[in-house]
Amino acid sequence: MENFIFGRNAVLEALRSGHSLNKVLIQEGLQTGSIKEVFALAKENNVVVEKVKAEKLDKLVKGKHQGVVAIAAPVSFVSLDDVFAKAAARHEEPFILVLDELQDPQNVGALIRTADAAGVHGVLIPQRHACPLNGTVAKISAGAVEYVPVVQIGNINLAIEELQRRGCWVVGADMSGTSYYETNLQGAVALVIGAEGKGLGRLVKEHCDVLISLPMAGGVNSLNASAAGAVLMYAIVEQRKKGKV
């Protein structure tokens, strides 16, 4: 399901053209000649570079990779400006989904699919320590990645601060938070969903304006990320609609 670009010239052209890439894999020990230019362009384009053994590259692609393989995203990433412009074009308050280091492509794909259905204007995904926007995510999303703008971010806490500067109320999903139905979720909102198992990071929690939770009445005290995210996205939709009445 991955889309690989391999070979030095092909990867260089992808970087020069601004092609959306999840990361670039470079064989350990290579750092001169055209490889040096790959490093420089990747840094310029904020693309993550990972040094790997030659055996890994051999397994990923069949052909002469020349020590470098780029993993391309199935759709082009956009900027945060594009997300806010989409909201403005719809004459709506921004509604943004932020994913905090989710690892499971099933969850990421399902969340993007729900985001599309709920009218989310954009999804923010970290470059590092998170599931890349790959072919599996695209398949699970049932094509929703073609409709929901995706922004690739560096530091999630800096991204939250930027959202707050732009007027968004940043809401983190956490079991220690206030029940969502007791929280005002109207206006410009950014919903942050934490990683599977560990949830939101400590600093992320501290950066959020408020933490909200789902009331749990059964024997299991939590839902998986995509299920919890779906409930909370539609809770926001419901409150936004009530606010227009």
pLDDT in tens, 23-37: 899 999 888 889 999
Residue 66 and residue 100 share a domain: no
- What is the arithmetic mean of pLDDT over 62-77? 86
pLDDT of residue 245: 36
Residue 87 and residue 24 share a domain: no
Enter the tokens of residue 60: 């990923």
**What is the percent of the chain where pLDDT is above 90?**
51
Enter the tokens of residue 72: 């391309």
d(CA 20, CA 192): 23
Residue 153 and residue 38 share a domain: no
Q: Which of 22, 41, 72 is the last residue of a domain?
A: 72
**What is the percent of the chain where pLDDT is above 70?**
96
CATH code for the domain in which residue 142 is found = 3.40.1280.10
Bridge partner list, 16: none
Confidence of residue 218 (pLDDT cuts 50, 70, 90): low
pLDDT of residue 190: 98
- Lowest-confidence region among 14-18, 49-53, 127-131: 127-131
Residue 8 and residue 124 share a domain: no
Structural domain range at position 160 = 80-244
Predicted structure pTM score: 0.84
Residue 96 and residue 62 share a domain: no
Nearest alpha-carbon partner for 76 in 25, 17, 12: 17
pLDDT of residue 2: 61
Number of folded domains that form the chain: 2
Which residue did the predictor score with more confidence, 132 or 108? 108
Residue 140 and residue 62 share a domain: no
d(CA 70, CA 112): 23
**Phi, psi for residue 147 in degrees, rounded to 5:** -115, -25
Residue 95 and residue 23 share a domain: no
d(CA 81, CA 115): 18
Residue 155 and residue 117 share a domain: yes
Q: Which of 46, 72, 98 is the last residue of a domain?
A: 72
Nearest alpha-carbon partner for 207 in 168, 149, 236, 154: 168
Q: Which of 72, 99, 116 is the last residue of a domain?
A: 72
Residue 18 and residue 138 share a domain: no
pLDDT of residue 138: 83
Percentages helix, strand, coil for the chain (3-state, rounded to 5) are 40, 25, 35
On the question of pLDDT at 148 being above 80, the answer is yes
- Lowest-confidence region among 18-27, 88-97, 132-141: 132-141
Task: Please state, rounded to an integer, the average pLDDT across all residues of the chain.
Answer: 89
d(CA 152, CA 155): 10
